[in-house]
Amino acid sequence: QVQLVESGGGVVQPGRSLRLSCAASGFTFRNYGMHWVRQAPGKGLEWVAVISYDGNAKYYADSVKGRFTISRDNSKNTLSLQMNSLRSADTAVYFCAKDVTISCGGDCPPAYWGQGTLVTVSS
């Protein structure tokens, strides 16, 4: 069955960097676009970034553009999110999620989500 396991979260000081990973299994990873979505404590869902199935298209929320980079390694079935210049407002649970259907260029909704990894930005 589909499994998405996020890792790399933790406590980090403002201005520092962190790299999140998402290990995918149970489906043909290279065929699906992938998303990062976050949820601050007690708040709603906020889309962060999406990458197309082939990695050629990447889109970012305005709040993270220029600081975060989404990438994928289809040979290792892994999705990543490099987060630089972290701010307290980036504190959240970060979910990775796979598209509902194959071969999407970033505009298909996420159908299956991992359990998330908590990132806390604090001095």
Binding residues for another protein, rule: CB under 8 A, are 35, 37, 44-47, 50, 59, 61-62, 95, 97, 100, 106-107, 109-116
Other Cβ atoms closer than 10 A to 39: 15
H or E segment at 81? strand 78-83
User: In whole angstroms, how close is the CB of 74 to another protein at the nearest point?
Assistant: 22
Nearest to 76 by CA among 121, 7, 21: 21
Q: In terms of DSSP bridges, do strands 10-12 and 117-121 run parallel, antiparallel, or are they unpaired? A: parallel
Tally: H helices and E strands in the chain: 0, 11
For the record, the structure tokens of 104 come out as: 């999407």
Question: Closer to another protein at the Cβ: 11 or 100?
Answer: 100
Question: Closer to another protein at the Cβ: 13 or 66?
Answer: 66
User: In whole angstroms, how close is the CB of 109 to another protein at the nearest point?
Assistant: 4
Question: Closer to another protein at the Cβ: 27 or 47?
Answer: 47
User: Residue holding tokens 């050629």?
Assistant: 56
Other Cβ atoms closer than 10 A to 98: 26
User: In whole angstroms, how close is the CB of 35 to another protein at the nearest point?
Assistant: 8
User: In whole angstroms, how close is the CB of 80 to another protein at the nearest point?
Assistant: 19
